[in-house]
């Protein structure tokens, strides 16, 4: 079990080639220039008392507890704000310093409730520790004078409390909110004795700009800002380092546990993806893991109109296996398949695709990346040679210009967004390409230099016009292109891109973005030292998603922005393990490590390890599975941790396909929308209940460690093993580490990966003989494919266009507090911030239709109709409406169409032509949905009832 080795050294680490030698308490120390005396002492193993300083924040120098003596200097300087100088001789422990520190502490304690024994921070309080460290034995000042002991508590945040009576006004919280999170929600109000911490304009935390990231809580040295879970459950007694199971940032956390209960999740300072920060989801929204809706017993039923029946694991597994066998006998070998989960571990995903290829004997395996980042895999593999982002997150701190395209990091990838904002506050520049005014466009102390507010569906036109400017104005990196890229492809591309039809002026009409703005953005990116592109689903979920990814790779190669820190092509991948699910061979045409099935050498490698023959023909993608179900060719499916009935486009097509199947096996922690169409339900385990690994958007493989026993008695990988054995294909793993060893044996980019290695810290693949410690930055000398390949990216408008009947374009996105289909976050206090999907509409479009905020509006597309409440806002441009998709009843995917990316079938979620009008009742689909859901919940309740009887 790995535990964090982090020790607070007081002030941040400095990077410098120049080292400074000094003597602290007789010990010779050598530290980088710019280091504080406090940190130098800490690095020498000495500790100076401190309260307002902490390693994650710049020194502030307010508490005066860290005073030291420096030879040749008058007075007693604060060691946290004093920088080292060559030859300095520092004393940290003298009788004079001890007296001064005791006096400082005495003042603090004289205005502090002396309730240590009943305080929630007892045993884990820096104020308490410092009182001990300075040897405070008596407090000469009584509580009779003015004090803050009756200061009110703010309990408005659902996850933490603010008890002002315990505040020592050290300002760590204020600085954490500014420096670490970048929200600037807190201030120190007034001065002197009456100064106090204030959220917003003297608002409660909940009413303020606070996004509940918890950085202030982590920074607070007292019990003033404290997790409510700690107040209620007490201090934890053990901790386990694990990885967040929400988004693709992959934050590392210390799960702090008391008995078998997680008391709190504390971001790990040693975590290389998050560097000690987190967002509201990973930090606080873990209550779903023990929510009463968890299903912990296997269940089966004949028909979806029947009540569920709780059964033993053996019965459920043998029933599922015999059904799959029966279907294969009746309809053929290719009539069954499965979907792997981007929420589950690498090992679990690997086992599901292995089961399908080895036990089902076909390649009918796909994953939810089909509906999100499959174009990233295709586009980057084609141009650069590897289906993954090129950088680590640390790289953003070396970036000078960032282009953020079709991504909303402050909501979707919040911890990365905080680091991006930090770099922008240091002076880096930002270009946002998005139809909507995302927070980064104009946030606290961050403002985009250019917001290219394009029309949805015109990404490729924009990327082409940027490339056109760079090439025709001679701003490209000729040496890089000559040395690193295929000449013939580049020449062909030049012939295409330099055509006038690709100029910003020619495309202005199409994109809606003024040509001068495009030219200025292109010059900014091409003219900087390090330019980085970050993108999200606003790039991939289009009919030209793969084209756009290749256009982005073209831009990076054109400007030589690839192969070193601060640059690159960075897909912000959505789910915790979507990168891993792709790496593990979840696609119907690829074995693990993105090797095509038609490659006989790779196939033979797997065949000999697995002792089966592998079909060289690719299997069905998800949309093919659904189509084949409608024609009785695909009749059984094993879905692990994925909710296609909510997350895939054209909901009615998906649900009717599920209804047509004879055996739907769903493995999940809740009865999700897909499970309502299932015949076998296998209870899943949350990330807290199992061992394994996740791979984040930086290709970083991080350990997931078991914190509590699985509520159902089995981790997901164990269930897949049982099912495979029941199907007649033996799997004998007793621990996920054995699965990782097999992956490493069979996958060149994972050769050096093992649990032993991962216990030393997370690793970015490729990790092999060439890069034994992993690869933070890819394509440094050569591209994975050798030379980079420029691809012609002709702009082809989507078929989905606005018309008189459907004059608006609907686009979709996420919100910070909810996560994807919302199955987890809807079951937490996060609903306080967001409890329903809304339709954002521009005031001019709203006025034309007589719509006000909070009105119910019907949204009709060529595919279907749903009803949501409206929010009138200038965040969206005229002609564009926007919604999130976190609540099943919203039916966002009832209206999205069947259009998809030409190369990968990734659905075109981001462009749907719609009309919007005021309505007074739910859509027909919603009425049916409610009825069906109620019926299914009754079937579930009957299972539990029968069990009780
Ligand atoms: S709330 Fe905590 S961190 Fe903030 S000023 Fe008070 S004691 Fe310091
Ligand atoms: S929780 Fe985060 S956003 Fe809210 S006040 Fe604290 S640091 Fe700022
Ligand atoms: S940023 Fe993503 S990985 Fe990090 S805590 Fe938030 S949801 Fe989890
Ligand atoms: S720790 Fe240095 S002044 Fe507070």
- Does residue 91 sit in helix, strand or coil? strand
Cα dihedral: 219, 222, 228, 231 (round 10): 150
pLDDT at 274 over 70: yes
Backbone angles phi, psi at 841, to 5 degrees: -140, 140
Q: Show the tokens assigned to 445.
A: 């102390």
State the average pLDDT over residues 536-563.
94
Residue owning the nearest CA to atom 2 of ligand 3? 247
Q: What percent of the chain has pLDDT over 70?
A: 97
pLDDT of residue 949: 63
Q: Cα(41)–Cα(19) distance, rounded to whole angstroms?
A: 15
pLDDT tens profile 86-113 = 999 999 999 999 999 999 988 888 878 8
Cβ of 211 below 6 Å from ligand 2: yes
Cβ of 393 below 6 Å from ligand 3: no
Residue owning the nearest CA to atom 3 of ligand 1? 220
Helix crossing, 545-558 with 459-472: angle to 10°?
A: 20
Q: Cα(607)–Cα(610) distance, rounded to whole angstroms?
A: 5
pLDDT of residue 151: 75
Residue to probe by mutation, ligand 4, list 75, 78, 92, 129, most atoms within 8 Å of CB: 78
Report the side by side order of strands in the sheet with 89-91.
Answer: 27-32, 19-24, 89-91, 69-70
pLDDT of residue 517: 98
pLDDT of residue 900: 86
Residue owning the nearest CA to atom 7 of ligand 2? 177
Cβ of 212 below 6 Å from ligand 2: yes
State the average pLDDT over residues 483-506.
97
* Cβ contact 578:245 at 8 Å: no
pLDDT at 146 over 70: no
| CA 526 vs CA 299, 400, 523, 549, 857: distances in Å | 58, 11, 5, 18, 44
pLDDT of residue 819: 86
Q: Cα(594)–Cα(596) distance, rounded to whole angstroms?
A: 6
* Cβ contact 433:517 at 8 Å: no
pLDDT tens profile 789-832 = 999 999 999 888 888 999 999 998 888 888 887 888 999 999 99
Contacts for 611 with CB less than 8 Å, ≥ 6 apart: none
pLDDT of residue 1: 44
* Cβ contact 89:22 at 8 Å: yes
| Residue 10 alpha carbon, nearest atom of ligand 4 | 1
pLDDT of residue 48: 95
Cβ of 816 below 6 Å from ligand 2: no
* Cβ contact 612:640 at 8 Å: no
Residue owning the nearest CA to atom 8 of ligand 3? 282
State the average pLDDT over residues 477-504.
97
Cβ of 173 below 6 Å from ligand 1: yes
State the average pLDDT over residues 405-434.
96
| Ligand 4 mean position, distance from CA 12 (Å) | 13
Residue to probe by mutation, ligand 1, list 171, 178, 186, most atoms within 8 Å of CB: 171
pLDDT of residue 541: 85
* Cβ contact 90:46 at 8 Å: no
Q: Cα(100)–Cα(86) distance, rounded to whole angstroms?
A: 27
| Residue 64 alpha carbon, nearest atom of ligand 4 | 3
Q: Which residue has the tokens 């701003």?
A: 475
* Cβ contact 908:899 at 8 Å: yes
Residue to probe by mutation, ligand 4, list 12, 41, 54, 61, most atoms within 8 Å of CB: 61
694 forms beta bridges with 702
Q: Cα(134)–Cα(713) distance, rounded to whole angstroms?
A: 50
Direct distance between the N- and C-terminal alpha carbons of the chain, in angstroms, rounded to an integer? 41
| Ligand 1 mean position, distance from CA 524 (Å) | 41
What pTM value is reported for the model?
0.94
* Cβ contact 206:155 at 8 Å: no
Residues listed for the chain: 949
Count of alpha carbons within 13 Å of 705, Cβ hemisphere only? 21
Residue to probe by mutation, ligand 3, list 265, 278, 579, most atoms within 8 Å of CB: 278
pLDDT at 416 over 80: yes
Q: Show the tokens assigned to 253.
A: 């956390």
Cβ of 504 below 6 Å from ligand 3: no
Q: Which residue has the tokens 């174009």?
A: 375
Q: Which residue has the tokens 């914190």?
A: 707
Q: Show the tokens assigned to 880.
A: 């564009």
| Residue 162 alpha carbon, nearest atom of ligand 1 | 1
pLDDT of residue 34: 97
Q: Cα(666)–Cα(936) distance, rounded to whole angstroms?
A: 14
| CA 748 vs CA 314, 744, 753, 765: distances in Å | 37, 7, 10, 10
Count the neighbouring beta carbons within 10 Å of the beta carbon of residue 94: 14
Q: Show the tokens assigned to 698.
A: 């930086």
Residue owning the nearest CA to atom 6 of ligand 2? 216
Cβ of 210 below 6 Å from ligand 2: yes
For 648-676, letters b (16+ CB in 10 Å) and e give bbbbebbbebbebbbbbbbbbbbbbbbbb
State the average pLDDT over residues 411-436.
96
| CA 61 vs CA 50, 81, 128, 554: distances in Å | 10, 6, 20, 48
Count the neighbouring beta carbons within 10 Å of the beta carbon of residue 455: 20
| Ligand 1 mean position, distance from CA 168 (Å) | 6
Residue owning the nearest CA to atom 5 of ligand 3? 282
| Ligand 2 mean position, distance from CA 124 (Å) | 21
Cβ of 198 below 6 Å from ligand 2: no
pLDDT tens profile 712-761 = 999 999 999 999 999 999 999 999 999 999 999 999 999 999 999 999 99
State the average pLDDT over residues 338-352.
97
């Amino acid at each position: 079990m790995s535990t964090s080795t982090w020790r607070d050294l007081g002030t941040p680490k400095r990077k410098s080639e120049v080292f400074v030698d000094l003597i602290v308490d007789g010990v010779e120390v050598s530290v980088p220039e710019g280091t504080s005396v406090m940190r130098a002492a800490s690095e020498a193993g000495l500790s100076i008392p401190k309260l307002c300083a902490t390693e994650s924040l710049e020194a502030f120098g307010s508490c005066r507890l860290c005073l030291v003596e420096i030879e040749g200097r008058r007075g007693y300087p604060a060691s946290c704000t004093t920088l080292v100088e060559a030859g300095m001789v520092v004393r940290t422990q003298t009788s004079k310093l001890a007296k001064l520190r005791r006096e400082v502490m005495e003042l603090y304690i004289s205005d502090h409730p002396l309730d240590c024994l009943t305080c929630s921070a007892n045993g884990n309080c820096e104020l308490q520790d410092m009182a001990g460290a300075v040897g405070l034995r008596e407090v000469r000042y009584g509580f009779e004078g003015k004090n803050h002991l009756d200061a009110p508590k703010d309990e408005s945040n659902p996850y933490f409390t603010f008890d002002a009576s315990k505040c020592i006004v050290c300002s760590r919280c204020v600085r954490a909110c500014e420096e670490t999170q970048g929200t600037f929600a807190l201030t120190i109000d007034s001065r002197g004795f009456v100064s106090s911490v204030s959220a917003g304009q003297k608002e409660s935390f909940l009413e303020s700009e606070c996004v509940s990231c918890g950085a202030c809580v982590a920074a607070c040295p007292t019990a003033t800002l404290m997790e409510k879970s700690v107040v209620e459950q007490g201090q934890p007694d053990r901790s386990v380092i694990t990885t967040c199971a929400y988004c693709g940032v992959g934050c590392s956390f210390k799960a702090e546990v008391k008995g078998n209960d997680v008391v709190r999740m504390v971001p790990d300072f040693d975590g290389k993806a998050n560097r000690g920060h987190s967002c509201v989801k990973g930090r606080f929204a873990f209550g779903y893991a023990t929510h009463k809706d968890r299903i912990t017993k296997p269940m089966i039923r004949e028909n979806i109109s029947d009540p569920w029946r709780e059964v033993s694991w053996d019965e459920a597994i043998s029933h599922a296996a015999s059904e799959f066998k029966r279907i294969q006998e009746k309809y053929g070998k290719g009539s069954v398949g499965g979907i792997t989960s981007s929420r589950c571990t690498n090992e679990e995903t690997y086992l599901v695709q292995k089961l399908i290829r080895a036990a089902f004997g076909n390649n009918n395996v796909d994953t939810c990346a089909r509906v999100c980042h499959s174009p990233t895999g295709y586009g980057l593999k084609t141009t650069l040679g590897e289906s993954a982002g090129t950088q680590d997150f640390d790289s953003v701190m070396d970036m000078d210009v960032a282009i953020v395209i079709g991504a909303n990091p402050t909501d979707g990838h919040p911890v990365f967004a905080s680091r991006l904002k930090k770099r922008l506050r240091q002076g880096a520049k930002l270009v946002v390409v998005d139809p909507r005014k995302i927070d980064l466009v104009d946030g606290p102390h961050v403002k985009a230099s250019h917001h290219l507010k394009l029309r949805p569906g015109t990404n490729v036109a924009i990327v082409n016009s940027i490339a056109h400017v760079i090439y025709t104005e001679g701003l490209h990196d000729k040496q890089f292109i000559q040395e690193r890229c295929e000449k013939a492809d580049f020449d062909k591309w030049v012939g295409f891109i330099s055509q006038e039809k690709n100029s910003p002026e020619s495309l202005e009409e199409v994109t809606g973005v003024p040509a001068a703005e495009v030219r200025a953005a292109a010059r900014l990116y091409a003219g900087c030292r390090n330019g980085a592109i970050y993108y999200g689903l606003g790039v991939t979920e289009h009919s030209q998603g793969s084209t756009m990814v290749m256009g982005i790779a073209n831009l990076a190669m054109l400007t030589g922005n690839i192969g070193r820190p601060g640059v690159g092509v960075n897909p912000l991948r959505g789910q915790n393990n979507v990168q891993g699910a792709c790496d593990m061979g979840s696609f119907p045409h690829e074995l693990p490590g993105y090797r095509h099935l038609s490659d006989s050498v790779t196939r033979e490698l797997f065949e000999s390890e697995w002792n089966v023959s592998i079909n060289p023909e690719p299997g069905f993608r998800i949309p093919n599975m659904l189509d084949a179900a409608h024609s009785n060719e695909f009749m059984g499916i094993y879905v692990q941790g994925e909710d296609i009935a909510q997350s895939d486009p054209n909901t009615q097509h998906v649900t009717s396909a599920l209804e047509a199947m004879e055996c739907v096996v769903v493995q999940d922690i809740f009865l999700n929308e897909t499970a309502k169409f299932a015949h076998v339900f296998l209870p899943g385990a949350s990330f807290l209940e199992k061992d394994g690994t996740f791979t984040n958007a930086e290709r970083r493989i991080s350990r997931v460690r078991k914190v509590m026993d699985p509520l159902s008695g089995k981790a997901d990988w164990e269930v897949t093993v049982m099912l495979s054995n029941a199907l007649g294909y033996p799997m004998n793993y007793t621990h996920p580490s054995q699965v990782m060893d097999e992956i490493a044996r069979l996958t060149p980019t994972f050769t050096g990966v093992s649990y032993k290695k991962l216990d030393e810290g997370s690793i970015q693949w490729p990790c092999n003989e060439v890069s034994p410690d992993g690869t933070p930055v890819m394509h440094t000398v050569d591209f994975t494919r050798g030379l980079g390949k420029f691809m012609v990216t002709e702009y082809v408008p989507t078929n989905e266009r606005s018309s008189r009947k459907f004059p608006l374009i609907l686009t979709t996105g996420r919100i910070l507090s909810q996560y994807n289909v919302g199955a987890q976050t809807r079951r937490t206090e996060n609903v306080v911030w967001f409890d329903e999907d809304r339709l954002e509409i521009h005031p001019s479009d709203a006025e034309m239709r007589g719509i006000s905020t909070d009105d119910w509006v019907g949204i009709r597309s060529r595919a279907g109709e749903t009803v949501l409440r409206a929010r009138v806002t200038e965040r969206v441009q005229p002609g564009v409406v926007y919604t999130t998709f976190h609540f099943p009843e919203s039916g966002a995917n009832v209206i999205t169409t069947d259009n998809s990316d030409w190369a990968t079938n990734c659905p075109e979620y981001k462009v749907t032509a719609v009309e919007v009008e005021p309505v007074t009742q739910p859509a027909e689909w919603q009425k049916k949905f409610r009825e069906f859901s109620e019926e299914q919940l009754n079937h579930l309740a009957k299972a539990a009832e029968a069990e009780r009887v």
